[in-house]
């Protein structure tokens, strides 16, 4: 019933454009553990009013089956500022249609009245003890995309078997229910609640438990620049600074207000390097700020840059900031919370493709470190399990600039990470230390961990499949590579098939998934490299790391060795020319 998408389809039919119609209606968007992520537009392969109604009807039926008290507890729905003029789709409209679906079945809905950061949805699920949460966002994807992310009652993103259960329920509930299109009905419903004011108050109260140096914060001369990259983060990072008694950061004026066109950047993703930070650098130079904090558009990720003595800007990688935050959060715990629990009950987590620096810190300091599969859904769920056993999970991170610094949110949170980074930098400044100098001190103490990650773009699933099949049948059937150029392979873990050469029974310990590709190679020189497909983008990613024991300070030699390993990986395992892969360009 959306006149815009309806008109698009009618036009294609009139033109007899079978090719485009096939694209729109050939296959339905797949609902996975990341929910939905696709371009906005007409047809069942895109995000639009109809596919949102169908998805929510399926989710509603699945929740009814799993929670006898769904009608008492309800769900929360949040949205970002994305909008798509030509199809009439927007995050806010999708959120209202989803709310309407639940309310029509007598389920209370806590619908945010305005845009919020993604972490506010898992926070609300936990804080209000709800059955589930939905966030309508495509995070840092290109502007035409949108997404639908689902959280379970434990406050973490859904994992299997819920994705399959919801997917099957969507298949069975495709015809819109009566009044499904009329979202105005919710405005007069007693089942509609707005959690905006409560959550804004409670969230900023909760993150203050991670504020340990209020006096330093009040007096610091350190200046910060913040950009929300045309997304939702501006207001919330300002409030977080206020909660920590820090002077507000300078906001990049051209990027501080939400704008679904993302006019000043090619990709609204702070992970993509310095291009996204050009305006931030200019403002920092003008205002004499030393540190830049950049959120992605839904404010669940954080990139940090610091001006060096040389006048150059250093953009920290996700692994480097993970090392700093891990060191800082453990140090704060040690100095302030010692009495609350024994060190044997303290945990930190990171994903298997992230740096193992936390493992090195944990080994030396005596707390626990665990790795999970890639993605915060795994870390959030594992953190909840540990917390339910009375353990303290201080910190979790992934190299894709995602950080969970505060146990009140069981997902990555760029708002709390930004303000905790600002407090850490302010504290270090009182010791005349920069973030870069402290990072070197962390590596000096716990051993250098040099990492390098990148990706190739490939739009053809057959080519991707072939590339990974080749690696599994490298020297004849069912044989993996024994070397990569001059680098000897000493171990293989394949989380697609469940094979791990280092285990006595050759079975991998981490869960395996046949639907995604992921192979990790360990090399005789101590290097580790993982190749995997992305769940949300047409990318084949790789991650590599060389670790040295404390005391090995020849960093340049380590970097050179890792560069050579990565070049060999690209040449022999990716074969970009042969496979027609497009390189990441800054």
Architecture of domain 448-583: 2-Layer Sandwich (3.30)
Nearest to 487 by CA among 542, 541, 546: 546
Q: Quote the longest CA-to-CA distance of the chain.
A: 73
- Residue 531 tokens read as 């190749």
Report pLDDT for 338. 65
Answer yes or no: are the C-beta atoms of 500 and 507 closer than 8 Å: yes
Task: Report cis status (omega within 30 of 0) of the bond before 412.
Answer: no
Structure tokens at 316: 């920290």
Q: Judging by beta carbons within 10 Å of its beta carbon (0-12, 13-18, 19+), is residue 205 exposed, middle or buried?
A: exposed
Q: Is the pLDDT at 586 greater than 70, yes or no?
A: no
Are 82 and 146 contacting, i.e. CB atoms less than 8 angstroms apart? yes
* Domain 3-193, classified CATH 1.10.3470.10, yes or no: no
pLDDT of residue 553: 67
User: Residue 133's beta-bridge partner residues?
Assistant: 76, 151
Q: Does domain 319-446 correspond to CATH entry 3.40.120.10?
A: yes
Decide if pLDDT at 414 tops 70: yes
Helical H segments across 431-537, by residue range: 435-446, 461-472
pLDDT one-digit tens code per residue, 428-466: 999 999 999 999 999 999 999 999 999 999 999 999 999
Q: In what order do the strands lie in the sheet with 302-307?
A: 250-251, 224-227, 291-295, 302-307, 313-315
Report the sign of the C-alpha dihedral through residues 386, 392, 398, 404, in that order: positive
Residues with catalytic function: 139
The model's pLDDT over 30-66, given as tens digits with 9 standing for 90+, comes to: 998 889 999 999 999 999 999 999 999 999 999 999 9
**pLDDT given for residue 340 in this prediction:** 67
pLDDT attached to residue 555: 86
- Domain boundaries along the sequence of the chain: 3-193, 204-310, 319-446, 448-583
Look up tokens 């704060």; give the residue: 332
Q: Which CATH number fits domain 204-310: 3.20.20.60, 2.60.40.10, 3.20.20.140, 3.40.120.10?
A: 3.40.120.10
Of all residues in the chain, what percent are helix, strand and coil, respectively (each to 5)?
40, 20, 35
How many DSSP H helices and E strands does the chain contain?
19, 25
Assess whether pLDDT exceeds 50 at residue 321: yes
* Tens-digit pLDDT profile for residues 361-380: 999 999 999 999 999 999 99
> Do the domains 319-446 and 204-310 match in fold?
yes
| CA-based nearest residue to 218, from 427, 415, 417, 428 | 427
Q: Does residue 97 surpass a pLDDT of 80?
A: yes
């Amino acid at each position: 019933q959306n006149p815009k998408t309806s008109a698009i389809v009618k036009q294609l039919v009139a033109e007899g454009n079978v090719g485009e119609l096939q694209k729109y209606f050939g296959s339905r968007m797949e609902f996975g553990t990341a929910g939905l992520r696709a371009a906005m537009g007409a047809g069942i392969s895109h995000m639009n009013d109809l596919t949102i109604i169908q998805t929510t009807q399926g989710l509603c039926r699945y929740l009814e089956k799993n929670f006898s008290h769904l009608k008492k507890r309800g769900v929360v729905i949040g949205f970002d500022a994305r909008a798509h003029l030509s199809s009439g789709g927007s995050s806010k409209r999708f959120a209202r249609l989803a709310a309407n679906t639940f309310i029509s079945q007598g389920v209370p809905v806590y619908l945010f009245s305005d845009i919020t950061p993604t972490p506010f949805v898992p926070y609300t699920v936990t804080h209000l003890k709800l059955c589930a949460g939905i966030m309508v966002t495509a995070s840092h994807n290109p502007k035409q995309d949108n997404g639908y992310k689902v959280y379970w009652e434990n406050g973490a993103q859904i994992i299997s078997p819920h994705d399959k259960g919801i997917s099957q329920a969507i298949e069975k509930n495709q015809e819109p229910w009566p009044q499904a299109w009329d979202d105005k009905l919710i405005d007069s419903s007693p089942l509609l609640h707005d959690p905006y004011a409560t959550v804004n108050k409670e969230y900023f109260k909760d993150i203050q438990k991670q504020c340990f140096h209020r006096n330093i914060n009040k007096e610091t001369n350190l200046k910060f620049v913040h950009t929300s990259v045309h997304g939702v983060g501006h207001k919330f990072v300002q409030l977080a600074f206020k909660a920590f008694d820090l002077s507000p950061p300078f906001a990049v004026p051209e990027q501080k207000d939400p704008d679904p066109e993302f006019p000043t950047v090619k990709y609204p993703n702070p992970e993509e390097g310095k291009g996204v930070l050009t305006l931030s650098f200019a403002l920092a130079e003008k205002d004499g700020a030393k540190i830049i904090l950049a959120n992605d558009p839904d404010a669940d990720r954080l990139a940090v840059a610091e001006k060096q003595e040389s006048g150059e800007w250093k953009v920290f990688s996700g692994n480097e900031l993970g090392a700093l935050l891990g060191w800082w959060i453990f140090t704060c715990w040690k100095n302030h919370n010692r009495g609350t629990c024994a060190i044997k009950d303290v945990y930190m987590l990171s994903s298997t493709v992230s740096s193992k620096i936390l493992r090195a810190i944990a080994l030396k300091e005596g707390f626990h470190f665990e790795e999970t599969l890639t993605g915060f859904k795994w870390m959030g769920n594992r953190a909840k399990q540990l917390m339910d056993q009375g353990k303290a999970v201080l910190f979790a991170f992934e190299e894709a600039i995602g950080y969970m610094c505060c146990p009140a949110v069981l997902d990555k949170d760029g708002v709390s990470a930004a303000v905790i980074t600002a407090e850490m930098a302010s504290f270090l400044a009182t010791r005349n230390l920069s973030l870069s100098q402290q990072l070197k001190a962390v590596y000096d103490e716990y051993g250098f961990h040099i990492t390098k990650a990148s990706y190739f773009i490939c739009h053809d699933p057959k080519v991707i499949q072939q590339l990974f099949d080749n690696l599994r049948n490298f020297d004849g059937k069912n044989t993996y590579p024994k070397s990569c150029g001059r680098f000897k392979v000493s171990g293989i873990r394949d989380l697609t098939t469940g094979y791990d050469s280092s285990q006595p029974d050759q079975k991998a310990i981490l869960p395996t998934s046949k639907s995604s590709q992921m192979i990790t190679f360990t090399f005789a020189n101590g290097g580790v490299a993982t190749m995997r497909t992305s769940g949300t983008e047409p990318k084949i990613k790789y991650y590599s790391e060389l670790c040295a024991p404390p005391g090995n300070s020849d960093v340049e030699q380590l970097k050179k060795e890792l560069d050579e390993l990565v070049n060999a990986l690209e040449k022999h395992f990716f074969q970009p020319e042969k496979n027609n892969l497009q390189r990441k360009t800054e």
